[in-house]
Amino acid sequence: MISIEPGRLDHATLVAFHRQPQPVQLTDDCWTRVDQARQTVYDLIEREEVVYGLNTGFGLLANQRISHENLAQLQINLVRSHSAGCGPLLSDSVVRMIMLLKAASLARGYSGVRREVIEMLLAMLNADLLPCIPSQGSVGASGDLAPLAHMSLAMIGEGRLRKNGVEMGAAAGLRSANLQPLELGPKEGLALLNGTQVSTALALTALVDCERTFQAALAIGSMTVDATMGSDTPFDPRIHEIRNHPGQIDCASAYRAWLADSEIRRSHVDCSRVQDPYSLRCQPQVMGACLESLRHAAQVLLREANAVSDNPLVFAEDHSILSGGNFHAEPVAMVADQMAVAIAEIGALSERRMALLVDRHLSHLPAFLTENGGLNSGFMIPQVTSAALASENKQLATPASVDSLPTSANQEDHVSMATYAARRLHPMLENTNTILAIELLAAAEGIDFRAPLKTSPRLQELHRRVRDLVPRYEQDRVFADDIRRIKSDVVAVFGLEPCCPVL
């Protein structure tokens, strides 16, 4: 059981929840503020004050007053009309994170919902009843309206949900867990639909997954240094200290740790090679820049995970409801763009190292890492696959936050595109993990060619993991299965001790 204090989520909790979902509960002290904010809503209704979203229409229709007897229907209509998403459904892990973030945000006590709304979210989450949420249809302002509408639709017993991978009607799914469909009160539909939880969940889950990708890239890049008989001099701490970028310093330390006590390195300390190509020599500089971008993203996304981002907001202490723009997901969009560039660069650098490994003039290994070239093509086409994926990532890394199309008859005239900015991170990570898996297979082959010299003890452990799954390439065979196996069992679940953590 994970116990959450609204506004105090931390990275450790979010990582644990993403990697191993557990039941969630809120600390008891949150309910007083929730109840006070709800009472403020009731008081304003009784005084018949005009408040956006409470007794008015939405968007450009905000000047339309809604009668008291239609307030509940207004919220139902809002959920139904905004359930206009399309495209593939979001993954279960992303949907769980959305529900967690939405519950935590509402429980801050500034949204004016009843505690029953929050309890329904948690009951569904803990029963693993996950709304079917289409991945497309949000521009990231006013919040993630369409996807959150699909989440809310399941809460009122409409739409569809999934349990254990099986899709079913929401009403039947709720009955299976002895849950009654939620009856929405004034403002509650709007509070559920408004907010940045979808784009934030997409970016956060990508960031957690990227932690392992980043650590794997450091280790694999180190193995390529040894396989190509590269120098460890560029990782000397003195070089990096006088530039004073923390990420660069941390990454250089990681490369030194991975390469420590390598027999291969000792064998060519006095060789005639003056300098290595940039893809080996400048790894701390490139990976360090990526690390700092990811760490910055982690800070911003944690703040957003703890934020109240719906509209309008209820301040019970002075009985006021204020309309603002916390739903605008520009902070998420911008850091998602930074993450996209980092993920693309990690893959681009790996692809260049892969190209180096198969080039006998640079690696001083057999061409394409095969001893019987001509009859065997060796790693020729895996490098082509790497190049294709690296190029695809470059296109996907184009900033989304600089794009904007006005919506709602120009009432919402600048939007963040944060949902797409965060959503594309997941296929980009898949591409980069594949590129790294290909490099790891090639680097392991290069290490084998250096026998009887041994790589460092830490890299020997990684090499053994590869060989436990995939034998040497003594003659051509199908690569696709090996790439898939190394990607899923080594790169994507990289579990060796991180040298410079992102989170």
Residues noted as catalytic: 52
Rounded to whole angstroms, what are the CA distances from 234 to 168, 182, 224, 225, 254?
Answer: 57, 61, 14, 11, 12
Q: Is the dihedral of CA 224, 229, 230, 232 positive or negative?
A: positive
Tokens representing residue 361 in the block: 């003039």
Question: Measured between alpha carbons, how far is 128 from 100 in angstroms, rounded to an integer?
Answer: 12
In contact, 201 and 333? CB cutoff 8 Å: no
The two beta strands, 313-315 and 320-322, are antiparallel
Q: Transcribe 385-401 into DSSP letters.
A: HHHHHHHHHHHHTS-ST
Question: Measured between alpha carbons, how far is 283 from 346 in angstroms, rounded to an integer?
Answer: 10
Which stretch of DSSP H or E encloses residue 287?
helix 283-305
Q: At 221, is the secondary structure helix, strand, or coil?
A: helix
307 sits in the region (left: phi over 0; alpha: psi -120 to 50; else beta) called beta
Q: Strand pairing partners for 162?
A: 130, 167
Tokens representing residue 28 in the block: 């008891």
Query: What is the largest distance, in Å, between two alpha-carbon atoms of the chain?
Result: 87
Provide Rg for the chain, Cα atoms.
26
Question: Measured between alpha carbons, how far is 200 from 480 in angstroms, rounded to an integer?
Answer: 33
**Angle between helices 11-19 and 197-227 in degrees, nearest 10:** 80
Question: Measured between alpha carbons, how far is 453 from 447 in angstroms, rounded to an integer?
Answer: 9
Q: Exposed, middle or buried by CB within 10 Å (0-12, 13-18, 19+), for 348?
A: buried
φ/ψ (deg, to 5) at 168? -155, 165
Question: Measured between alpha carbons, how far is 362 from 358 in angstroms, rounded to an integer?
Answer: 8
In contact, 163 and 50? CB cutoff 8 Å: no
Evaluate the omega torsion of the peptide bond into residue 142 and state whether it is cis, within 30 degrees of 0.
Answer: yes
